[in-house]
Structure 1
Amino acid sequence: MLLPFVVSFDSLVNKEYSDATDTTSHNALFSLWRKYGVLVHGSNEIFLQVKKIRNQTLRKRWLEALTYFRTQCQDKIDDSILSKSIDELMLYKDIADTIIIDDTEAIRVFKFPHDKEHLQLGENGIELCRMKCINASNAFRKAEQDAYGLVKKNESIESLWKRRFELITKNSNIITVVDRYCLENHFKDGDQSALLNFMNYINKTTTLRVLNIYTGHKHRDNEKAILSDIHKLADSISKGSYVNVNEINLFVIKDADFRFRADCHARYLQFINHNAGIAKINTYLIDLGLAIFKGKKADSTSDIKYVDDCKHVNVAIEKLRVLAKEQQTAFTLIR
């Protein structure tokens, strides 16, 4: 769902981009990057590199993209792609899935045939893609398929996590779960609890600042039953030793059937990278919600859809947060 990619900045800063035709491919990359990509770069001075792009409009768009889209600095690479041999570029496979190079340099330096959109370096190796043909990139097409594809029945949860959720989790510090049934299912599923499985995968993958969970409870007005279940969940979490999850906030909604139907009927996973006051958000609608992580293999087929405009989801989450505060059913389980 999240594709790591590298851009040859040394070819971008040396080119004159004179008109809209030249910059269309960059706009296509920005669209793909916002939804499915994380730019992997080797220099903390990447903003200084981008400021060297001569076309003013394009330079501004790149600076905005670096500010608001996902990026990752890797010491193992540098951004001077044009000086690398094919063998050296093949070593980038462990870091990124595709390298994007300017169209002219693709032909001049890497001897692309004029009718070739991209090259695969070795069997299962990294992709070299011409900027002009970014929409034809096999790597980005696969990322798009994962962002909208099915979780198939009997699919291994381990491989599902690695293929779709591991990288975006590593690139996030806040995760939000919106699932009316995840608390109820936790007690029903016992050792196969999807909620605890999900937390285990997070714990093995990254250090997470905050996990927010919005869920319902089958008892509408039974305060004692609700508090009893919260204590049981807190006990399960404490036994699990989730040392890499710094804070878990649980928002339990009473009268959940009515409230979720009215405010947030669907189930969502939201991955947020929040730094310096800027939130980079990827939201996914998942038919079965957190239940896709139950046990070791998927119980049922479930659809996953990337939510392009998540404003309505954010509004619904805020309504649920306020409601849980009003109902006095908002709890912090780890801090």
Structure 2
Amino acid sequence: MSVALAAAPDAAAACAGGTDQNFGESFNLRVAAFCVIFVCSSAGVVIPAALHLRPSMSNAMRGGWLFVAKAFGAGVILAVGLIHVMPDAANALSDPCLGWPSYPFAGMIATLAAIAVLVLEGCITAIFERVNTAPTLPLQAPSDLEMSRTSKELTTAYVHGHGHNQEASDNPKVEKVRHLTIAQVLEAGIAIHSVLIGVTIGVASNLGVVRSLLAAITFHQFFEGIALGACFMEAAISRWSYVVMGAIFALSTPLGVAIGLGVQATYSDHSPISLGVQGVFDSVSAGILIYMALVDLIAVDFVEAKRPLRAKVVGYAALFFGAFCMGLLAIWA
């Protein structure tokens, strides 16, 4: 009994958290991390655009490398969601310091986030399709012959188009909006996670830990930047939009580092507030990334699209390589 009573205050103190007094020894490296991660994240986003805009590259070559880059990016994003983000979310939301009942909250929140993305994509695509395919009403009453011809055309269009959901895929405007939605939602999921890992660097006190985190997260953001840039290129966004969206991604982790440096004196990674915030946001991010990788990237390019066998083999290799690279980084961060 006395042992239990003595252990309880220790557990409470651990959950309440204390402040580490050794933040100063790694402060300069964490400030440098702000710049290093920004440069590497920017380089990752820029590489797809630079390759795509090479004047010596033919349209067929552009299409081929974009497919391979997207496959690599899909592997990266899937591994980030399953290997990096989801375990962190589960650990945070199952921590005894939260005092929550035993339940897989991370899995439930990730599931709801994935369903929310599905609903969001469906609503945006349906609204845009309706606006751009709405029939124009005639100014004068049509004749019986015109009515018969119009009725026949509408019936044929419904059976061969709407009945098989082909109009949306054949409408380039609808497809462009769909790809833009995918790019924006994917960036939101990546940015949430990037801010959180930036905070992790910003509050780290041990010099060796900061070095390991900096090396791993730099490659982490570089690979994610390539994946995101490939999605931007497929969405065919304007150069200005590319710059803005790329800058948002590149600044997300440095922003997290700045936040971590600002709250380092009072931050405790075992406090209920920090555990709850990290767990919930990581769960949402994991749900978004896993859904986007499987549904909007892998399924579209490897299941729905008709490609030569050789191209698919190269794509599968890129997919596995991307997942392997991000899985390997999980050893350090």
Whether TM-score is above 0.5 comes out as no
* TM-score (normalised: structure 1): 0.23
* TM-score (normalised: structure 2): 0.23
User: Quick check: which one's strand share is greater?
Assistant: 1
Q: Is the radius of gyration larger for structure 1 or structure 2?
A: 2
Q: Which has the higher contact order (CA 8 A, sep 6+)?
A: 2
